[in-house]
A and B are shown apart, each in its own frame.
Chain A
Amino acid sequence: MTGYLGSYATLGLLLVASVLIFVGAFTANRLLSPADPAEPAGKRATYESGVDPVGGDWAQMQIRYYVYAYLYVLFAVEAVFLFPWAVIFDRPGFGATTVVEMAIFVAVLALGILYAWRKKILDWT
């Protein structure tokens, strides 16, 4: 394993090492922590600042989080296309045309955030 796969094999080694370290840490924690802890009533109840928890454990999320996640997908895709473009745009054979192509791409996506802006989606009310 040399070169390309070798570089990634090192990353794989890192993952294996981290799994081993976690196994060791959790074993140590199990050995060191109290073996026979007390179980008073309410010990495992959910924490609500000292008040007895009422109702379910689950609050329905607001829709605005979803729109932000969607905007994130959009701009993550844009960033992913910007990366290879940024590496090659001033190599010989590219130049002004490539910049204009990317400008159109960015402008169309900027329309999206402009739309969200004018529709007050970006207002966290």
Chain B
Amino acid sequence: MTTPAVYLAQDPTLADFGHDPWWISLIKVVAAFVFAVLATLLGVWFERRVVGFMQVRPGPNQVGPFGLLQTLADGLKMAFKEDILPKGADKVVYFFAPTISVICAVTALAVIPFGPMVSMFGHQTPLQVTDVSVAVLVILAASSMGIYGIVLGGWASGSTYPLLGGLRSSAQMISYEVAMGLSIVAVFMTAGTMSTSGIVAAQAGSDRSASLGGFEFFAPGWYAILLLPSFIIYFISAVGETNRAPFDLPEAESELVAGFMTEYSSLKFALFMLAEYVNMVTVSAVATTLFLGGWRAPWPISIWDGANSGWFGLIWFFAKVILLVFVFVWLRGTLPRLRYDQFMRLGWRVLLPINLVWILALAGIRVLQKENSDAVRWGIIGGALLVILLITLAWPDRRKQPPRPLQEQVNARPQGSFPLPPMDLVVPPSPRARRGVAQRQPANVGGGAPDVVDTTSTEEKED
């Protein structure tokens, strides 16, 4: 075991799981569901308010204090709506698709550690529904099962837009599932375990403090810092996996109406929305657990010993999760949607190769640190150089093809393409533009340029 064993008394280990009385298990399971629903209700509100703030508008602010109950009102409205079954639908599959989505999303939530051992009605129990020695694999399996909800929902609607949206979505999810699975490997390599509570404990164990020039520096053992490339790749693929902007191609309104959800109505539509937001919270929670130290307090607070005990863990955990969800919303408010080919290129040609090289490089470095004999050490360095050489030689060439002449490109178009305007067409200058220039001219003569500068600067001041 490379994991430094600084397990504190309140650190749950694998042996602590599976001994709860059934009613405590039941409380935890129900709590997981309540958390999922609350996270969706507040998450939608949070997203709309934050995006509203970014776009200089209020966002929902009528229902309840700060509009907090807006999502609840929307959700209740959905339950009162008629459930329409389209004519061409496959009844059974149409019914099961949204439930599969939600169950998979909630299952992944069950292996996330929310906090340390706490006392619940006199029982010492970890703040986690359950943990197994391959817990991260359970998360991956749940998210790969979640693909079925989407591909089947799209197919069962018996309609063109949902079918295309479902296919796009599933191709997208499987592409980013690969990147996500590989980015987690580096965490296993460093932590030496696959159980979520074990990974949180391992991160606490690798905290270091160093003194440099008289100052005490503290370096948290968060894998987001130690394994920065993995964290970045994980987060990008998490955005792709949850179909969120800028990767929300399956729901690209301008192309596919609402993607696989087009034909859904009433409660089933609400379930798909629930699954989307629970997924967003789940991947944020997984990122928190694997890369940001889980429920443990961040550095300045962790000096106080009590911060990492009992129910306090929940505070730090939720703070980190909300921070990550904010990043999700921030991305949505900032970035435009990618084109599908750009998106797939990013997944397969950038994230995947970087991932593989990074894993092997990390393994090489870690073995190098341990090896004592020079022969092995130079052998590994030589091997790494050889691999780099081979990669450079075999790298797909990026030479740009010289652009073909326009006429040739036009001739290469398939039969029945849209008609083209003539090649030598020149657009005459717009009469309106000339008029506009003519009107603006006198103002410059009279008032001079400073007027124009003044107006812009006052506008800036008002902002």
Contact = CB atoms under 8 A, between A and B. Distances in A.
A–B touch (CB < 8 A): the answer is yes
Interface of A: 1-11, 13-15, 17-18, 21-22, 25-26, 28-30, 32-34, 37, 43-49, 53, 57-59, 61, 65, 68-69, 71-72, 75-76, 78-79, 82-83, 86-87, 89-91, 95-96, 99-100, 102-103, 106-107, 110, 113-114, 117-118, 122-125
A89 B364 CA distance: 11
Q: Rank and list the top 10 A-B pairs by shortest CB-CB distance, nearest first.
A: A6-B18, A124-B341, A86-B188, A46-B159, A10-B130, A79-B181, A72-B174, A7-B18, A29-B267, A86-B189
Given A25-B271, A30-B83, A33-B81, 16 more contacts: A7-B18, A7-B132, A10-B20, A11-B130, A11-B138, A14-B106, A17-B30, A18-B106, A33-B80, A47-B262, A47-B263, A53-B159, A59-B164, A68-B344, A72-B178, A82-B359
B158 A46 contact: yes
B171 interface: yes
Contact of B82 (A13, A37, A65, A117): A37
Given A29-B79, A87-B194, A124-B341, A65 B18 contact: no
Contacts of B129: 10, 14
B136 to A, nearest CB: 8
Contacts of B356: 106, 110
A90 B102 CA distance: 38
A12 B267 CA distance: 25
Contacts of B150: none
A43 B85 CA distance: 9
Interface in B163-210: 163-164, 167, 171, 174-175, 177-178, 181-182, 185-186, 188-189, 192-194
Interface string B111-133: 00000000000000000011110
Say what secondary structure dominates the interface of chain A. Answer: helix
B84 interface: yes
Contacts of A125: 341
User: Which of B163, B188, B345 has the largest number of chain A CB atoms within 10 A?
Assistant: B188
B367 A90 contact: yes
A33 B82 CA distance: 5
Interface of B: 1-2, 15, 17-20, 22, 25-26, 28-30, 32-33, 79-88, 99, 102-103, 106-107, 110, 129-132, 137-138, 144, 157-161, 163-164, 167, 171, 174-175, 177-178, 181-182, 185-186, 188-189, 192-194, 257, 262-263, 266-267, 271, 340-341, 344-345, 348-349, 352-353, 356, 359-360, 363-364, 366-367, 370-371, 376, 379-380, 383, 387, 394, 396
A65 B33 CA distance: 35
B177 A59 contact: no
Given A96-B371, A125-B341, A22 B86 contact: no
A10 to B, nearest CB: 4
B178 A79 contact: yes
Contacts of A21: 33
Contacts of A87: 188-189, 192-194
A86 B356 CA distance: 13
Given A37-B82, A82-B359, A86-B188, A46 B29 contact: no
B158 A47 contact: no
Contacts of A30: 83
Contacts of B102: 18, 22
B367 A95 contact: yes
Contacts of A17: 26, 29-30, 33
A33 B87 contact: no
A49 B17 contact: no
B110 A69 contact: no
A26 B80 CA distance: 11
Contacts of A3: 15, 18-19
A76 B171 contact: no
Nearest to B81: A33
B194 A83 contact: yes
User: Which of A29, A30, A65 has the largest number of chain B CB atoms within 10 A?
Assistant: A29
Nearest to B19: A2
A61 B349 contact: no
A96 to B, nearest CB: 5
A6 B17 contact: yes
Given A65-B167, A86-B185, A9 B18 contact: yes
Given A17-B33, A49-B257, A95-B370, A76 B158 contact: no
Given A32-B80, A57-B88, A47 B161 contact: yes
A2 B79 CA distance: 40
8 contacts: A8-B132, A10-B25, A10-B28, A14-B106, A33-B82, A89-B363, A114-B394, A125-B341
